[in-house]
Amino acid sequence: MSVKIFDTTLRDGEQTPGVSLNVKEKLEIAKQLDRLKVDVIEAGFPVTSEGDFKAVKKIAEEVSNPTVAGLARANKKDIDRAWEALKAAKKPRIHTFIATSPVHMEHKLKQSPEEVLESAVEAVKYAKSYTDDVEFSAEDASRSDKDFLCDIFEATIDAGATTINIPDTVGYATPQEYGALIKYIKDNVPNIDQAVISVHCHNDLGMATANSLAAVENGAEQVECAVNGLGERAGNTSLEEVALSLDTRFDYYDIKTDINLKEISRSSRLVSHLTGVQVQPNKAIVGENAFAHESGIHQDGVIKERTTYEIMDAQTIGLKENKMVLGKLSGRHAFKQRLEELGYDLTQDELNSAFKRFKDLADRKKKITNLDLEAIMEDEISQVSETYHINLLQVTSSSGLATATVQMEKEGETINQSACSEGGPVDAIYDAMNEITGLDCKLRDYNIDAVTSGKDALGEVIVKLEYQSEIFIGRGISTDIIEASAEAYNNALNKIYEGE
Ligand SMILES: CC(=O)SCCNC(=O)CCNC(=O)[C@H](O)C(C)(C)COP(=O)(O)OP(=O)(O)OC[C@H]1O[C@@H](n2cnc3c(N)ncnc32)[C@H](O)[C@@H]1OP(=O)(O)O
Ligand SMILES: CC(C)C(=O)C(=O)O
Ligand SMILES: [Mg+2]
């Protein structure tokens, strides 16, 4: 069995507050939807504006594989305008709708159920005079009387509707209830076999995908959805969630779509860029974190066997690979793997030492990048055996006078020293360190650079010390530049001791 995918990114998706696409942008998305192999593109609602009319017309002229649909209220003006825009399409569909729930009929339309039924039938007949492919939607179907729905669907199918749509317009339904509604309509509309049963769900309670899938289990043959779940209010059913649910759980649903899954990721990115609506990182399938692992136990599992923590392969949706994000919760296995990818081959001791540095950094820095790791590794390489070790640094600075207190350790002995300097906090630290070590060395060069970017960037300090006419280079890295400065100086001092 298979279901059709009716994409409404360009119609209901464009109803997302704040989104407005021009003709060129809509055409670009339509071409991508064609590559994605959706069955139907709902290109817009032509009566709403000159721009939307032009966009639907352009898509109808240029995108020929999928059916191109245009929305129209149940009146002649809307249907005329929809047809005017759609007539060049190879496979045009007029999609007409009217609300069937008591609250909509009474308060919004101010029509009786009989009048609504008559308007629906007239609209379908009129649309049918233009094209064989007519979809009729009973807006707010999930809050409508079930038997009235059956009557209106029977009548509109008789009038020529080839698809009948049962929207959960306000995202009110629950999966079991919605599935039962689809089954009820399937079982109680006598001519239902002459039309495709379609569903259109909204995500107000976060159940749009679950509702759509429940509908499919109960006989729905077309699912209306939008890329990234865009749409009015909390959005529509997300296309990628339906497509990947059916693919991943084919064992359960036994239902196929024609969607080219490899184009999912690209479609999501394009829609996000052109609409300006960012995808939440933890969004199923297309969120930045959907194929990312940060915690050590998961990373270890995935390294050993991907399917321990992945039910889908990132490559299925067109991504290159999954992601191992290094952070404070990561473990040695993932850390080692990343270092190996960067070309470092470490002994167990080297790995343990670098891993400790990495964990210390990860406690201070949210995201550890390859540049951070390279900086840690370069720093590890330039480490010498430590004669002196810095235990503590304390700096105050005001009105051009800085005071530094440094605590260093040498062979188990702790030494405290303070110094004042008008040359700033780094100068005061270096004076204190000179006092502690008793070495008469001169600072010949001091250079500071950001290794990575962002507020929590790693700073790298390189110093050149002259001692007895010889130059000793020291390097220090830290998210705290004062600390990096002290570590660089200490690194150079220790090199002096190593040489002695
Ligand atoms: C569930 C959905 O997503 S429905 C689609 C929603 N999309 C949009 O609304 C797209 C953007 N809309 C627009 O540009 C405008 O609303 C237009 C051009 C469609 C209509 O604009 P206006 O003529 O100014 O009417 P307005 O939007 O204020 O009110 C809607 C009118 O359509 C009527 N109406 C609503 N739905 C239908 C329908 N399916 N069939 C017939 N009439 C309808 C309302 O009762 C109201 O009629 P009234 O003016 O007699 O009270
Ligand atoms: C126009 C219809 C199909 C709609 O968008 C809805 O009911 O949500
Ligand atoms: Mg809708």
Predicted confidence at residue 399, as pLDDT, reads: 81
Predicted confidence at residue 80, as pLDDT, reads: 98
* Pair 41, 186 in one domain: yes
| H/E element, 464 | strand 459-467
Mean pLDDT check: name the lowest of 126-140, 380-394, 458-472: 380-394
Domain final residue, candidates 351, 381, 411: 381
Contacts of residue 37, defined as CB under 8 A and 6 or more positions apart, other chains included, come to 65, 66, 258, 259, 260, 263
Q: Is residue 281 part of a domain?
A: no
* Pair 314, 354 in one domain: yes
* Pair 271, 297 in one domain: no
* Pair 102, 178 in one domain: yes
Edge-to-edge strand ranges of the sheet holding 442-450: 442-450, 459-467, 470-478
**In this predicted model, what pLDDT tens digit does every residue of 419-443 receive, in sequence order?**
999 999 999 999 999 999 999 889 9
Burial class (CB in 10 A: 0-12, 13-18, 19+), 205: middle
**Residue-range definition of the domain harbouring residue 453:** 388-499
Helix axes 239-248, 264-275, angle to 10 degrees: 170
- pLDDT over 70 percentage in the chain: 100
Span from the CA of 58 to the centroid of ligand 1 (angstroms): 24
Nearest to 384 by CA among 451, 475, 461: 475
107 is in an annotated binding site: no
E-assigned strands of 214-373?
Answer: 222-225, 292-293, 323-324
Q: Is the pLDDT of residue 144 over 90?
A: yes
Domain final residue, candidates 381, 402, 426: 381
Split at pLDDT 50, 70, 90, the class of 99 is very high
- Contact 36/30 with Cβ under 8 angstroms? no
Ligand 2 pocket, mutate which of 169, 203, 222 (most atoms under 8 A from CB): 169
Cross-strand bridge partners of residue 448? 461
Distance (Å) of CA 30 to CA 44, 53, 131, 171, 286: 11, 15, 21, 26, 19
How open is the CA angle 375-376-381, to the nearest 5 degrees? Answer: 95
SS3 percent helix, strand, coil of the chain, rounded to 5, is 45, 25, 30
Tell me which DSSP letter residue 108 carries.
I
Span from the CA of 108 to the centroid of ligand 1 (angstroms): 10
Distance (Å) of CA 475 to CA 442, 446, 484: 16, 10, 8
Q: Which two tokens stand for residue 208?
A: 């749009």
**Average pLDDT of span 47-73:** 98
Predicted confidence at residue 275, as pLDDT, reads: 95
**Average pLDDT of span 471-491:** 93
| H/E element, 137 | strand 134-139
- 97, 166, 222, 203: CA torsion to nearest 10: 100
Nearest to 172 by CA among 138, 201, 145: 201
| Amino acid identity for residue 195 in this structure | A
* Pair 356, 468 in one domain: no
User: How many structural domains is the chain composed of?
Assistant: 3
Span from the CA of 249 to the centroid of ligand 3 (angstroms): 26
Would you call 385 helix, strand, or coil by DSSP?
A: coil
Contacts of residue 151, defined as CB under 8 A and 6 or more positions apart, other chains included, come to 117
| ipTM of this complex prediction, to 2 decimal places | 0.98
360 is in an annotated binding site: no
* Pair 328, 416 in one domain: no
- Contact 422/428 with Cβ under 8 angstroms? no
| For the CA of 12, the nearest atom of ligand 1 | 3
Q: Which two tokens stand for residue 441?
A: 């060395």
12 is in an annotated binding site: yes
- Contact 432/423 with Cβ under 8 angstroms? no
Q: Is the pLDDT of residue 500 over 70?
A: no
E-assigned strands of 341-410?
Answer: 388-398, 401-410
Q: Is residue 11 part of a domain?
A: yes
Question: Rounded CA gap, 488 and 492, in Å?
Answer: 6
Q: Is residue 285 part of a domain?
A: no
Q: Is the pLDDT of residue 487 over 90?
A: yes
Split at pLDDT 50, 70, 90, the class of 290 is very high
First-to-final CA distance of the chain: 81
**Average pLDDT of span 173-196:** 98
Quick check: CB of 109 below 6 Å from ligand 1?
Answer: yes
CATH number of the CATH domain containing 254? 3.20.20.70
* Pair 48, 169 in one domain: yes
Better pLDDT: 331 or 366: 331
Q: Is residue 431 part of a domain?
A: yes
| Amino acid identity for residue 321 in this structure | E
Predicted confidence at residue 113, as pLDDT, reads: 98
Q: Is residue 61 part of a domain?
A: yes
Predicted confidence at residue 384, as pLDDT, reads: 78
- Contact 467/496 with Cβ under 8 angstroms? yes
Question: Rounded CA gap, 407 and 433, in Å?
Answer: 9
* Pair 367, 448 in one domain: no
Split at pLDDT 50, 70, 90, the class of 288 is very high
**Average pLDDT of span 110-126:** 98
**In this predicted model, what pLDDT tens digit does every residue of 14-52 receive, in sequence order?**
999 999 999 999 999 999 999 999 999 999 999 999 999
Q: Is residue 458 part of a domain?
A: yes
Q: Is residue 203 part of a domain?
A: yes
Chain Cα centroid distance, residue 209: 17
Task: Name the closest-CA residue to atom 2, ligand 2.
Answer: 139
**Average pLDDT of span 247-257:** 98
Mean pLDDT check: name the lowest of 91-95, 98-102, 122-126, 476-480: 476-480
Would you call 448 helix, strand, or coil by DSSP?
A: strand
Q: Is the pLDDT of residue 400 over 90?
A: no
Predicted confidence at residue 379, as pLDDT, reads: 80
Q: Is residue 26 part of a domain?
A: yes
* Pair 373, 395 in one domain: no
Ligand closest to 45 (CA) is 1
Ligand 1 pocket, mutate which of 109, 112, 156, 172 (most atoms under 8 A from CB): 109
Mean pLDDT over the full length of the chain: 95
Span from the CA of 113 to the centroid of ligand 1 (angstroms): 18
CATH number of the CATH domain containing 396? 3.30.160.270
Would you call 330 helix, strand, or coil by DSSP?
A: coil
236 is in an annotated binding site: yes
- Contact 207/174 with Cβ under 8 angstroms? yes
**Average pLDDT of span 272-283:** 96
Span from the CA of 67 to the centroid of ligand 3 (angstroms): 19
Split at pLDDT 50, 70, 90, the class of 375 is confident
* Pair 93, 211 in one domain: yes
Domain final residue, candidates 275, 308, 337: 275
Question: Rounded CA gap, 392 and 379, in Å?
Answer: 20
* Pair 403, 271 in one domain: no
* Pair 123, 220 in one domain: yes
Distance (Å) of CA 247 to CA 82, 250, 275, 475: 34, 5, 27, 53
